[in-house]
């Protein structure tokens, strides 16, 4: 296959695989001996896995918007999962006028395709530089007869959705002729619910005798939402969740095999991650950031699995323990392919490319992570985490060095008051620097049950959010 364009420009192809609600613990290569992810383990063995990669907001649409634009929610205005404006008479392009890295790639010769979940409004019209556009109509559904959009038409796919998304991605790869580098997003809905009676028997059978010790069923958190899938026996939910991960892993293997068969593996950067973390009983929660109300910022909600691999360029079999955020993804990817972003100085992220390439002295020891979900904000260092809930609290402070599982809230401990004050001040300074006052999440009525329209100056006043049970 002719690869002259890539060779001339030094620009690799890119396959970006994004899962939905995959906890950082839900990987074999991350130390989980129960879950079966042989192909992701194989990908990690051929590249670098990040053990401290954080989403920018622990719910899908804001996190995805941040990956795409490099902006925090209080800059791009997507503060909750998008409930309104996906399809129908009044579609909304929530990121209109905000540059996505795929637009920069497309402007510089990349052919961009998307197969799977979009969930950033207006699913009908291709956006952000994508010319191949096969997407879910909303953001989640049953795994069979899923509502999708192909060639601008709303259809229902009878097959198993994880397979269907992969087959479309494989068709995109089939038509690449090497004249241009390509970028392919493969966005699975797995392992998002539903889990029971929703996945092929061959994967469910793999977990028939599983003890699920990696998912301890703790007493229900007092803030747990009423719509969480709680039951006296969570075995069937756990079997479904694990099966969804393994079925997705099988399809990741199909993508890797295809690139190898085409002779493109060494010319292709594969990025794998999830949009947000997930709790399957951890902390007494079933869900992510909106598995509780008020929303939570536990590491199991804000950490995501993350693997990067390109043989010959990225070190193989390495684990990077540095702190990295979803808002760092865009600048890293653009630097990786040698492209500039004109708005980089106004964005919060920084490239972790030196760490990704295993360069000596490339450490990010002083990096601090910031997260937000509506009025809930977090600052996290290696040793401490502070969570502030505007306007009234409750707030949290954890000494992660002594309490890595976040069991003892030190917010009122006298010996920790100096630490609390310092972290609160640092959090406020950082958000003051980057927040767009018209899209400030602390002034939005975010419930965790969905965003219905635009926030900030593009909308009519403040956005509205679905008020569900809490």
**Residue carrying structure tokens 């502030």:** 388
User: What is the Cα–Cα distance from 293 to 280, expressed in whole angstroms?
Assistant: 17
Distance of CA 394 to the CA centre of its chain: 26
Q: What is the H or E stretch that residue 384 is in?
A: strand 384-389
Does 96 have pLDDT greater than 50?
A: yes
Tell me the pLDDT tens digit for each residue of 320-356. 999 999 999 999 999 999 999 988 889 999 999 999 9
Q: Are 292 and 225 in contact (CB under 8 A)?
A: yes
- Mean of pLDDT values over 267-292: 98
Would you state the pLDDT for residue 63? 98
* High-pLDDT (> 90) share of the chain, %: 91
Q: Going by DSSP bridges, is the β-strand pair 286-287/13-19 parallel, antiparallel, or unpaired?
A: unpaired
Does 3 have pLDDT greater than 80?
A: no
Q: What is the CATH number of domain 4-369?
A: 3.40.720.10
Does 101 have pLDDT greater than 50?
A: yes
Does 362 have pLDDT greater than 90?
A: no
Q: Are 65 and 120 in contact (CB under 8 A)?
A: yes
Would you state the pLDDT for residue 462? 64
Distance of CA 409 to the CA centre of its chain: 27
Would you state the pLDDT for residue 441? 97
Would you state the pLDDT for residue 231? 84
Would you state the pLDDT for residue 209? 97
Which pTM was predicted? Answer: 0.96
User: What is the Cα–Cα distance from 96 to 215, expressed in whole angstroms?
Assistant: 40
- Mean of pLDDT values over 87-113: 97
User: What is the Cα–Cα distance from 386 to 405, expressed in whole angstroms?
Assistant: 14
Instruction: List the one residue out of 309, 169, 174 whose CA is nearest residue 248.
Output: 169
Q: Are 77 and 456 in contact (CB under 8 A)?
A: yes
Alpha helices in 227-328 (DSSP H): 235-261, 299-302
Ranges of each domain in the chain:
4-369
């Amino acid at each position: 296959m002719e690869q002259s364009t890539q060779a001339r420009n030094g620009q690799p192809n890119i396959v970006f695989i994004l899962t939905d609600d995959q906890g950082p613990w839900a990987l074999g290569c991350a130390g989980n001996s129960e879950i079966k992810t042989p192909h992701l383990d194989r990908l990690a063995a051929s590249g670098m896995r990040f053990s401290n990669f954080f989403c920018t907001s622990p719910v899908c649409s804001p996190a995805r918007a941040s990956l795409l634009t490099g902006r925090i929610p209080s800059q791009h205005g997507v503060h909750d999962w998008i409930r309104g404006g996906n399809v129908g008479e009044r579609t909304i392009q929530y990121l209109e006028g905000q540059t996505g890295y795929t637009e920069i790639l497309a402007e510089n010769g990349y052919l961009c395709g998307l197969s799977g979940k979009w969930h950033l409004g207006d699913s009908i019209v291709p956006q952000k530089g994508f010319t191949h556009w096969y997407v879910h109509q909303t953001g989640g559904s049953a795994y069979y007869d899923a509502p999708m959009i192909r060639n601008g038409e709303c259809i229902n796919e009878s097959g198993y959705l994880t397979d269907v998304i992969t087959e479309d991605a494989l068709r995109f790869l089939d038509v690449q002729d090497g004249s241009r580098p390509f970028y392919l997003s493969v966005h699975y809905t797995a392992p998002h619910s539903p889990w029971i009676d929703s996945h092929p028997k061959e994967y469910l059978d793999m977990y028939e005798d599983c003890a699920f010790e990696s998912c301890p069923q703790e007493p229900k958190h007092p803030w747990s939402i009423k719509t969480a899938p709680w039951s006296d026996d969570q075995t069937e939910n756990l079997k479904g969740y694990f099966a969804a991960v393994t079925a997705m892993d099988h399809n990741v293997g199909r993508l890797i095999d295809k690139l190898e068969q085409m002779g493109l593996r060494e010319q292709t950067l594969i990025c794998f991650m999830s949009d947000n973390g997930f709790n399957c009983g951890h902390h007494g929660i079933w869900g992510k950031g909106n598995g509780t109300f008020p929303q939570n910022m536990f590491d199991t909600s804000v950490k995501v699995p993350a693997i990067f691999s390109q043989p010959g360029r990225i070190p193989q079999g390495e684990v990077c323990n540095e702190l990295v955020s979803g808002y760092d993804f865009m600048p890293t990817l653009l630097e990786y392919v040698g492209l500039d972003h004109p708005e980089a100085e106004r964005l919060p992220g920084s490239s972790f490319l030196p760490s990704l390439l295993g360069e000596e002295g490339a450490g990010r020891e002083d990096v601090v992570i910031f997260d937000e979900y509506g009025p809930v904000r977090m600052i996290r260092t290696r040793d401490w985490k502070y969570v502030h809930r505007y306007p009234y609290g409750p707030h949290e402070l954890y000494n992660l060095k002594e309490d890595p599982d976040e069991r003892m809230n030190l917010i009122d401990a006298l010996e920790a008051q100096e630490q609390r004050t310092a972290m609160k001040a640092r959090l406020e300074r950082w958000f003051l620097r980057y927040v767009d006052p018209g899209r400030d999440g602390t002034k939005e009525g975010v419930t965790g049950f969905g965003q219905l329209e635009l926030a900030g100056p593009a909308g009519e006043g403040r956005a509205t959010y679905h008020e569900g049970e809490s």
